[in-house]
Amino acid sequence: MRAVAGAAFYAPVDAELRELERRLLDVGRGAHPTFQAAVEHLFSSPGKLLRPTLVFLSARFGTRPDREVVLNLAESLELVHTASLVHDDIVDRADMRRNVPTVNAMWSDDAALIVGDYLFAKAYALAAVLPKPEVIAIVAQTVFALCDGELNEVTMERSLPTESAYLERIELKTASLYAACCQGAALLTDADPEHVAALGAFGTNLGLAFQITDDILDVAGDDRDFGKTVGRDLAEGMPTLPMIYAVMEQDGHGGELAHRIVATDKTEAEVRDLLAVIRRGGGVARARERALAFHDAAMKALDALPDRPEREALRDVADFVVSRVR
Amino acid sequence: MRAVAGAAFYAPVDAELRELERRLLDVGRGAHPTFQAAVEHLFSSPGKLLRPTLVFLSARFGTRPDREVVLNLAESLELVHTASLVHDDIVDRADMRRNVPTVNAMWSDDAALIVGDYLFAKAYALAAVLPKPEVIAIVAQTVFALCDGELNEVTMERSLPTESAYLERIELKTASLYAACCQGAALLTDADPEHVAALGAFGTNLGLAFQITDDILDVAGDDRDFGKTVGRDLAEGMPTLPMIYAVMEQDGHGGELAHRIVATDKTEAEVRDLLAVIRRGGGVARARERALAFHDAAMKALDALPDRPEREALRDVADFVVSRVR
């Protein structure tokens, strides 16, 4: 495993992850050369593979684990995730993601649009042959949620959302996919309904904790990552939870700060200045508490599962998600 | 039926077409308001509905017609078609399609990107519950073909393709979907394998005849449609069959003409001048012969089917496709 070298939670499902990596690199076989090249570019550094790890760990709580169909679900959901990133990077005009050039930067917006369509189509082709219609429906619902979340962003009014509007957005854009990984794998392997529900609740809360942590890092992360993973949301005028809390802290006086946060034409100096303002207040700490509350809810959901190494691994994933520093 | 008011080939499947129109308008229900508005915009003037008509007519040659699953296939393939148009219009920077503003023009490129993703997802969700895996595979293969064709266009070198490269492109971008409509419907309704093959051949040849005719109209159509359905390909530097034949006609001297055809920064005067040059030669007539040859092959494929009103209707569709004047 690459990005989180040696993290213990990968160990129980190492063989499946290796097989998945092999299959992902093979997704472009027989297709257009540009798609093949994009696939190689995207999957030769596949990132943390947290979502497939959740699929494989969750599948261990089923009563009829079938390695092949579980691999298909993991591949399908990872392709959904990758396709949505490729399209998001067009919308966000992003040149880099995780220190790797984006598909739109390497080729063009037009090519990235079609590469994303291709990846979605591959994802659905894998989902369509899963033996359970309700799991196919979960994959489709996840894509609808991602589209809803992205349309929320694209059509968003230039104003600060409420806390609950923010939470709804990250549930659609991030947590729905985490929930689909956990719940889909449990359903697919005929897990006890109580375990399916527990894994679904775990996935949703984990996804919320993950996204809030990500949004905190963008505000309070290491300044050496400025312009990469730090300060991006402010530069784009994308309001997140620590910013919302920072504005709330100012009682009736937050209007000007809110206005500066959602502006899209900031200079680098303005972004750095806003970062300093937000870091000075209590918004980051309060957002951190919120992330930890979702982490705790995720942990609690796992209590319903039998005590197995895979449950410990899921707990480790949850700890990892909120303890990241970059 | 709207665009081809009263065309006789709609009559045998009129009830199914009305039901389909109702369902298409309902695709956005419960989704994001922007998606709902885009769906209403796209399907309140649904065009010729040739593809669903082919699905419904072809399904009549099955041994076990099931109205509901046939409607699902027709809706799925029409959504695939619409999604690919929405994305193509972004790539082509098109403001209008069939005298209606495009989604990218009405909202934005970003919104259109996600609306297309949504439509694809709806299409796959419908396809995934079809009772035959081989028909699901046909829908997936069709999307791969559309992506391959579109990637060919996007990554195309600025040079004139050969006749066979052109035919490969339109087979991927147009004929594959026509074939999927005819063959998919026949497979879905348990048609005799000979009839499935005949309808597949009919669809492919019909699609090729349709696209060549479309490309001829863009060169030789009514000048009152200039800038809308006429002269668009030349303005975009998109080489088509009548242009390829026009260049071939000039023996070794076509290099300069080819160079002018594929240029992308033409003035309106240059487009009009090129149109006149191409219309003067025999390229248009030769392309027309090619379209008619595919039309004849489509007709011949139908000989393998039983003599029924639906076979006559398919013949009428084929005649309509090559006799359009705009």
What whole-number distance in Å separates Cα of residue A175 and Cα of residue A162?
Answer: 18
Taking the Cβ of residue A116 and every Cβ of chain B, the question of whether any pair is shorter than 8 Å is answered with yes
B85, B89, B113, B150: which to substitute to probe chain A, counting the most A Cβ within 10 Å? Answer: B113
Q: CB–CB of B147 and A91 under 8 A?
A: no
For residue A104, is pLDDT > 50? yes
ipTM over 0.90: yes
Q: Which of A42, A40, A49 is nearest to A2 (CA)?
A: A49
What whole-number distance in Å separates Cα of residue B317 and Cα of residue A299?
Answer: 61
Question: Which of B113, B115, B121 comes nearest A90 by C-beta?
Answer: B113
Question: Which of A107, A125, A140 comes nearest B140 by C-beta?
Answer: A125
pLDDT of residue A65: 85
* DSSP summary character for residue B231: S
* DSSP summary character for residue A96: E
3-state secondary structure of B101: strand
Poorest-confidence range of A2-16, A165-179, A196-210, A283-297?
A2-16
A92 by Cβ neighbours in 10 Å (0-12 / 13-18 / 19+) ranks as: middle
Poorest-confidence range of A73-87, A157-171, B51-65, B102-116?
A157-171
Taking the Cβ of residue A320 and every Cβ of chain B, the question of whether any pair is shorter than 8 Å is answered with no
Residues of B in contact with A113 (CB under 8 A): 87, 90-91, 113
Share of chain A above pLDDT 70, in %: 97
Q: Which of B289, B275, B286 is nearest to B322 (CA)?
A: B289
Taking the Cβ of residue B87 and every Cβ of chain A, the question of whether any pair is shorter than 8 Å is answered with yes
Handedness of CA B160, B164, B167, B172 (dihedral sign): negative
Handedness of CA B210, B216, B219, B224 (dihedral sign): negative
pLDDT of residue B4: 54
Taking the Cβ of residue A32 and every Cβ of chain B, the question of whether any pair is shorter than 8 Å is answered with yes
pLDDT of residue B294: 98
Could you write out the DSSP letters of every residue in B26-62? TTTTTS-HHHHHHHHHHHSS-TT-HHHHHHHHHHTTS
The whole-chain average pLDDT of chain A stands at 93
Residues of B in contact with A155 (CB under 8 A): 32, 34, 107, 111
Q: Predicted confidence band at A1 (pLDDT cuts at 50, 70, 90)?
A: very low
Query: CA B142 → CA B52, B120, B127, B168, B294, distances in Å?
Result: 15, 12, 12, 14, 20
Torsions phi, psi for B273 (to 5 deg):
-65, -45
pLDDT of residue B159: 86
B155, B157, B169: which to substitute to probe chain A, counting the most A Cβ within 10 Å? Answer: B155
Residues of A in contact with B127 (CB under 8 A): 124, 128
Q: Taking the model in full, what pTM does it have? A: 0.94
Residues of A in contact with B129 (CB under 8 A): 133, 136
Residues of A in contact with B155 (CB under 8 A): 32, 34, 107, 111
Q: CB–CB of B35 and A151 under 8 A?
A: yes
Report the chain A residue with the minimal C-alpha distance to residue B143.
A121
B10 by Cβ neighbours in 10 Å (0-12 / 13-18 / 19+) ranks as: buried
Q: CB–CB of A128 and B124 under 8 A?
A: yes
Q: Predicted confidence band at A3 (pLDDT cuts at 50, 70, 90)?
A: very low
Chain A: give the shortest CA distance to residue B151, in Å: 7
Report the chain A residue with the minimal C-alpha distance to residue B125.
A140
Taking the Cβ of residue A5 and every Cβ of chain B, the question of whether any pair is shorter than 8 Å is answered with no
What whole-number distance in Å separates Cα of residue A305 and Cα of residue B2?
Answer: 58
Query: CA B28 → CA A301, B22, B119, B308, distances in Å?
Result: 34, 12, 9, 37
Taking the Cβ of residue A150 and every Cβ of chain B, the question of whether any pair is shorter than 8 Å is answered with yes
Taking the Cβ of residue B19 and every Cβ of chain A, the question of whether any pair is shorter than 8 Å is answered with no
Q: How many beta-carbon contacts under 8 Å exist across A and B?
A: 128
Q: CB–CB of A155 and B34 under 8 A?
A: yes
* pLDDT tens series, chain B, 326 aa: 334 556 889 999 999 999 999 999 999 999 999 999 999 999 998 688 999 999 999 999 999 989 999 999 999 999 999 999 999 999 988 898 888 999 999 999 999 999 999 999 999 999 988 999 899 999 999 999 999 999 988 888 888 999 999 999 999 999 999 999 999 999 999 999 999 999 999 999 999 999 999 999 999 998 888 888 899 999 989 999 999 999 999 866 678 999 999 998 899 999 999 999 999 999 999 999 999 999 999 999 999 999 999 999 999 999 999 998 77
Chain A: give the shortest CA distance to residue B276, in Å: 31
pLDDT, greater one: A3 or B289: B289
pLDDT, tens digit, for every residue of A269-315?
999 999 999 999 999 999 999 999 999 999 999 999 999 999 999 99
Taking the Cβ of residue A93 and every Cβ of chain B, the question of whether any pair is shorter than 8 Å is answered with no
pLDDT of residue A5: 53
Q: Predicted confidence band at A4 (pLDDT cuts at 50, 70, 90)?
A: low
Q: CB–CB of B151 and A35 under 8 A?
A: yes
Chain A: give the shortest CA distance to residue B178, in Å: 19
Looking at residue B16, its amino acid is E
